[in-house]
Structure 1
C-alpha cells in the first residue's frame, strides 16, 4: 500500500506539481484519507519518503555504473553526471523549484545529498585523468558549476517555460561541461 501511495503521489506531481492533496491521493488509490494517514502523518512526510526512495535508487545505480565493465571511463562519467531516478527522466524541471519553495525541509535534505554525493564522480574523474582522458582541473569548482547550473535552470523554469525535462536539461548541461562549445 505504501508503494502504491507513493506511485500515485508521483503521478500527481508529474500531472500538476505539488498542489495535490492527501484526498487526491486517497481518491486515486480508492481508499479513505484515513488509510493514507495510517502510512504517512503528513503530505511532507510522503514527499520526503519519495525523495529518500529516489536517493536510494541513485546510490544503487551509481554503483552499478561505476562497476559496469561495458562502459568506458568517459561514458561512466557522463552517466554519473546525468544520473536521475528512473521515474524522474521526464520530470519537468520546474518541479524542483516547487519542491524548494513549498517544502524547504525536504529540499534541504535533497540539496544536501546533491552537494555531498560526489565520491563516485571524483573516483571516475581520477581514473579518466590517469588514462589521459581529462586534464587537471578544480573538481570543487566543477561541482559548484554543476550545482549552480542546475539551480539556475530551476529558477528560470519557475518563471519561464524552459521547455526541458530534467533529463534533457542535465544532458545538455553535462555535454557543455564535458565537451565544451568549441568545434574540434
Structure 2
C-alpha cells in the first residue's frame, strides 16, 4: 500500500534528518510528485501525527510484556522500561527538541503518552513492593528521572562512543533499578 510506503520513508527521513524534512524532499525520495504526496497527506502535520501514533502503538506493546508468564516481575519491569519502537526510535531521540520547538502539538501528544503510560509499570512496582523485591520509593520522582533521562539522551549521544540507543536505554534502566553501589556495600559498613 502506498500510504504505508510513504510512512516508512518518512520515518527513515526523520531518522536521518529530523522532523524538518520537506514534503518536496520526501516526494523526491519516494519517486513521486509533490502533488501525489499531498493527495495522501494534505498537511505535513498529518504525516507527523501518523508517525508519532505509530511509535505510540509500538510502545503499547508493554501490555503484552505485562502479561508474559515466562518473565518474572523484575524482568517484566526492566523490559517495559527499555522498550523503544523498533522502526521509529523517536527519530533517534536527537530530534526531540526539534519536534518540541517546531511541532508543539505533536510533541505534546508524544510527551503526554510518555508521562501517562505508567499504569502497568506502577502495578509491577506495587507488586514488587508487596513481595519485598523492591523497596518503597517515590514513583513520581522515578518517572521524572526516567523521562528526564530519556530526553537528555540526545545530549549524551553526541558524547558517547557510538553506543546504540537500545544499549543506552538498558544502561539507564540498570542504574535506575540497581543503583550504582555493589550489593554487599551496605553489609561492609
Cα deviations by residue, 1:18-54 (Å, 9 ceiling, x for unpaired): 2321122212222211121112122222111100111
**Deviation of 1:4 (Å):** 0.8
Give the CA RMSD over aligned residues.
2.0
Contiguous gaps of at least 5 residues in structure 1? none
Cα deviations by residue, 1:109-129 (Å, 9 ceiling, x for unpaired): 100111111001001111222
1:1-184 equivalences under 5 Å are: 1-59=2-60, 61-89=61-89, 91-154=91-154, 156-157=155-156, 160-162=158-160, 163-184=162-183
d(CA) in 2 for partners of 1:157, 1:98? 16
d(CA) in 2 for partners of 1:157, 1:136? 30
d(CA) in 1 for partners of 2:18, 2:43? 17
Count of residues in correspondence between the two structures:
181
Report the equivalent of 2:187: none
Contiguous gaps of at least 5 residues in structure 2? 184-189
CA contact (8 A) 1:77 1:121 kept: yes
**Deviation of 1:91 (Å):** 4.9
Q: Secondary structure at the match of 2:17?
A: helix
TM-score (structure 2 length as normaliser): 0.87
Q: Secondary structure at the match of 1:172?
A: helix
d(CA) in 1 for partners of 2:165, 2:36? 32
Larger Rg: 2
